Structure 1
Amino acid sequence: MKHVAWRPLVGVMVFGVCGYIFEVAAASSNAATARAYVSNEDGQSVSVLNAESFASIATIDVGKRPRGLKLSRDGSQLFVAVSGLPKCPPTVPDEECAKLERDLKADGIAVVDTASRKVIKVLAAGSDPEQFAMSNDGKRLYVANEDVGLLSVVDVDAGKVIERIKVGLEPEGVAMTPNGRWVLVTNESDSSVSVIDTATLKVTKTVPVGKRPRDMAFAPDGNTAYVSGELDASLYSMPVTGNEPVRRLLQLREATRPMAVVQDSARNRLYLSTGRGGTVAIIDTKDAPQAVKLIKEVPVGKRPWGIALSADGRHLYTANGPSNDVSVVDTTTLTEVKRIPVGSSPWGIVLGPAPP
């Protein structure tokens, strides 16, 4: 998403938060009590769903433009990136976006108590947070500050930013390797991925990938990242370390706009939401990273963005922005089996256990 022109970095103070964080595709080990949380970008809310019965449970007001979100390992706290930067589509020129009023006080990470369904605090997290990751020990946040081209690193115990790392233009997707050693950031306007060493907090390399990269997922060994390219309908693979070549693995049909990426290791698959393409692309990765194969595109709601996979791998959930709903895809039959109404312009989705 294009935003207003370059702006100065907002000062950051972060208060300590306990708990580990699931990645986008993570889910509960106790499927019977699984919850789905959906950020509604235009609704300033999060929808709470029963991920087994597909029933809507509640709506939680969280703040302006909620997008990226994570859930604590025990399901007790939900973390949601909120932003006071006005929504501005790519068709609107930068100079017009810059005229829109911005609420600097709205930027942060809203922390929701999932039992009471209330925001208990908002953590300052730099300018225009959109997506973020947390270290495996729960002690650091890595937040993409899209409008200023930075990644903010926050020590959550000390309650302060310990580093601001210069990355590419319009950083959006943030993901940590399974071993916690590397953080990768997709730079939309630079069509590249920055790799950051979490020990030194330095960028070790910047790798060119497809046009307007939006998200990534890791192969089971954590050494290969799969990166979606929105504007050229591509899927790339890149080595996290080493000098292996970057590969363009797949060219999807022109109308697709690959967005979120989820790995299904048990089935040797990747799932890609295709944005304006209105589908989820199912990719066979049995021969990856040398080669992959498109199995099928499953039609879902309008412009799917965030996706999440159930713990047992049986269902894939997609957040469909313009249709204000969530699609449930059966991963065995590869068909959409349910549509669940949610709030206005759903953006992201995360699965996990019900509150303890």
Structure 2
Amino acid sequence: MPVGKSPTGVGLSPDGGFLYVANGSSNNVSLIDTRTNRVASTIPVGESRVNVAFSPDGGSAYVANSGSGSLSVINTRTRRVDPDLPAGRSPVGVAITPDGTSACVADEVAAHVLAVETRTGKVATVSVGEGACDVAVGPGGRFAYSADLGPGNVSVSDTGSHRVSSTIALGLSGTDPFNLEVTSEAIYVTNQGAGTLKVIDPYSHKVVATVILGAGPYGVAVS
């Protein structure tokens, strides 16, 4: 399906009706109707968009714009873009808390995870390891997990206090955890440098399995 230039991230709406494709070099998002497999709409957003996440009710889509340091907020019903939210220097990942009140953003350049209030745009900053490349929020909403590219860690941040509560070591420098997904049963992390998938117990924060993959794995999704 033809979309924009350099598609770099996708997000499926909660109802499964539309796939939002962030086009990294086109400054827009393509909406693919999953019933027809056709592009239903193209929405202009910020520069160098890389990631898409949705509010729990599916009413808003949040697009991380690494080139413009912002989150574009798309009203999924009207397909209009609301005013941008601030998102640090280079937002490359975004996840929304289960109550929809906060967007957790991975700022790769500043090595921060930002908690951005979705209504006010107020920002709280959590310092994590070098190169925060992705962020995910646990099912209960209490913790945000970030993949820290440089040191090879996953940082666990308390969404209430906005502090790092623990750090999960995945390997030596060069392991390069790049993308993660969190469920109630496990935390899954792809390690670009090591070519592995780490499976972490979400309660003990211990690595329980290592799966050997091909070279340079970038993403993971869990059914």
Question: Quick check: 1:150–1:168 contact (8 Å CA) kept in 2?
Answer: yes
Alignment-derived partner of residue 18 in structure 2 = 77
Alignment-derived partner of residue 279 in structure 1 = 196
How is 1:98-113 mapped onto 2 (pairs within 5 angstroms)?
106-113=26-33
- Deviation of 1:120 after TM superposition, in Å, equals 2.2
Q: Which one of 249, 256, 260 corresponds to residue 179 of structure 2?
A: 260
Which piece of structure 1 moves more, 295-304 or 270-279?
A: 295-304
Question: Quick check: 1:229–1:236 contact (8 Å CA) kept in 2?
Answer: yes
Paired residue secondary structure (2:193): helix
Say which structure is richer in helix: 1
Question: Quick check: 1:280–1:297 contact (8 Å CA) kept in 2?
Answer: yes
Question: Quick check: 2:151–2:172 contact (8 Å CA) kept in 1?
Answer: no
Q: Which structure's CA Rg is the greater one?
A: 1
Deviations 1:74-129 (A, max 9, x none): 43321111122xxxxxxxxxxxxxxxxxxxxx221111122332222211122221
- In structure 1, distance between residues paired with 2:16 and 2:192: 28
Question: Quick check: 1:163–1:201 contact (8 Å CA) kept in 2?
Answer: no
Say which structure is richer in strand: 2
Higher RCO (C-alpha 8 Å, min separation 6):
1
Q: Which one of 60, 67, 82 corresponds to residue 140 of structure 1?
A: 60
Q: 1:245 to 1:184 in 2, by over 3 A?
A: closer
1:270 aligns with 2:187: yes
- In structure 1, distance between residues paired with 2:75 and 2:13: 17
- Deviation of 1:244 after TM superposition, in Å, equals 4.9
The letter of the residue matching 2:109 is S
Question: Quick check: 1:225–1:239 contact (8 Å CA) kept in 2?
Answer: yes
Question: Quick check: 1:273–1:304 contact (8 Å CA) kept in 2?
Answer: yes
- Deviation of 1:248 after TM superposition, in Å, equals 2.1
Question: Quick check: 1:154–1:163 contact (8 Å CA) kept in 2?
Answer: no
The letter of the residue matching 2:39 is V
- Deviation of 1:243 after TM superposition, in Å, equals 5.5
Number of residue pairs aligned between Structure 1 and Structure 2: 223
Q: Which one of 215, 224, 232 corresponds to residue 151 of structure 2?
A: 232
- Deviation of 1:209 after TM superposition, in Å, equals 0.4
Paired residue secondary structure (2:110): coil
Identity across matched positions, percent = 31
- In structure 2, distance between residues paired with 1:176 and 1:77: 18
Alignment-derived partner of residue 213 in structure 1 = 132
1:122 aligns with 2:42: yes
What's the C-alpha RMSD, in Å, of the aligned pairs?
1.9
- In structure 2, distance between residues paired with 1:162 and 1:116: 27
Question: Quick check: 2:138–2:183 contact (8 Å CA) kept in 1?
Answer: no
Q: Compute the TM-score of the two structures, normalised by the length of structure 2.
A: 0.91
Paired residue secondary structure (2:115): strand
Question: Quick check: 1:83–1:128 contact (8 Å CA) kept in 2?
Answer: yes
- In structure 2, distance between residues paired with 1:299 and 1:230: 18
Alignment-derived partner of residue 309 in structure 1 = 222
- In structure 2, distance between residues paired with 1:188 and 1:151: 14
Q: 1:117 to 1:280 in 2, by over 3 A?
A: same
- In structure 2, distance between residues paired with 1:158 and 1:116: 20
Paired residue secondary structure (1:307): coil
Q: Which one of 148, 156, 161 corresponds to residue 242 of structure 1?
A: 161
Q: 1:245 to 1:65 in 2, by over 3 A?
A: closer
How is 1:155-174 mapped onto 2 (pairs within 5 angstroms)?
155-174=75-94
Paired residue secondary structure (1:305): coil
Paired residue secondary structure (1:271): strand
Q: 1:226 to 1:63 in 2, by over 3 A?
A: same
Question: Quick check: 2:146–2:155 contact (8 Å CA) kept in 1?
Answer: yes
- In structure 1, distance between residues paired with 2:33 and 2:71: 26
Unaligned runs of 5+ in 1: 1-59, 85-105, 311-356
Q: 1:181 to 1:299 in 2, by over 3 A?
A: same
Alignment-derived partner of residue 65 in structure 1 = 6
- In structure 1, distance between residues paired with 2:161 and 2:56: 23
Unaligned runs of 5+ in 2: none
Deviations 1:223-280 (A, max 9, x none): 1111110111111111112255443232423331101111231x3x211000122110
Deviations 1:20-58 (A, max 9, x none): xxxxxxxxxxxxxxxxxxxxxxxxxxxxxxxxxxxxxxx
Alignment-derived partner of residue 115 in structure 2 = 195
